[in-house]
Amino acid sequence: MVWVAVFPAVHRFVTILATMTNRILIVDDHPSFRATAKIMLLADGFEVVGEAEDGRTALEAVERLRPDLVLLDVQLPDMDGFAVIEALLRMNGEAPKVVLTSSHDATDFGSIVPRCGAAAFIPKAELSGAALRAVLR
């Protein structure tokens, strides 16, 4: 009898865990970084749903793919990552979490990083699945 009473709650919990995915969109203008990040994230259990090389393509991909998280380079050829975040926040629907990344340190961008709406900033040299998982919690 106890199992019957507990089972619906356990079933709901397992269902939620099964449907929770870590769907990532990688946005960076360097193909080599995108490829390296993709390999690392796939190996760490993430689902990489797409890649984009600039801000415009990133915004289109977010609309189409609906990732849980966007790994977004700060410096892109057509607009910077901060402008991409602003555009994402204006989109209809729920915007994905955004993690900014750069070969530069966050302090190089002054006070804009903490105020821009990103969930986190991770330097490219420190990027890992564990760091992204911590942001998704």
In a domain, 12, yes or no: no
**Domain tally, the chain:** 1
Q: Which of 72, 62, 78 is nearest to 34 (CA)?
A: 72
Torsion sign, CA atoms 24, 25, 30, 34: positive
In a domain, 74, yes or no: yes
User: Distance from first CA to last CA of the chain, Å, rounded?
Assistant: 34
In a domain, 120, yes or no: yes
Domain that holds residue 44: 21-136
Per-residue pLDDT of the chain (137 residues; tens, 9 = 90+): 344 444 444 444 333 343 456 899 999 999 999 999 999 999 999 999 999 999 999 999 999 999 999 999 999 999 999 999 999 999 877 889 999 999 999 999 999 999 999 999 999 999 999 998 888 78
In a domain, 79, yes or no: yes
pLDDT at 18: 38
In a domain, 7, yes or no: no
pLDDT digits over 108-119, tens only?
999 999 999 999
Q: What is the CATH number of the domain that holds 110?
A: 3.40.50.2300
CA-CA distance, 95 to 39, in Å (whole number)? 25
In a domain, 25, yes or no: yes
In a domain, 34, yes or no: yes
pTM of the model: 0.83
In a domain, 130, yes or no: yes
pLDDT digits over 81-98, tens only?
999 999 999 987 788 999
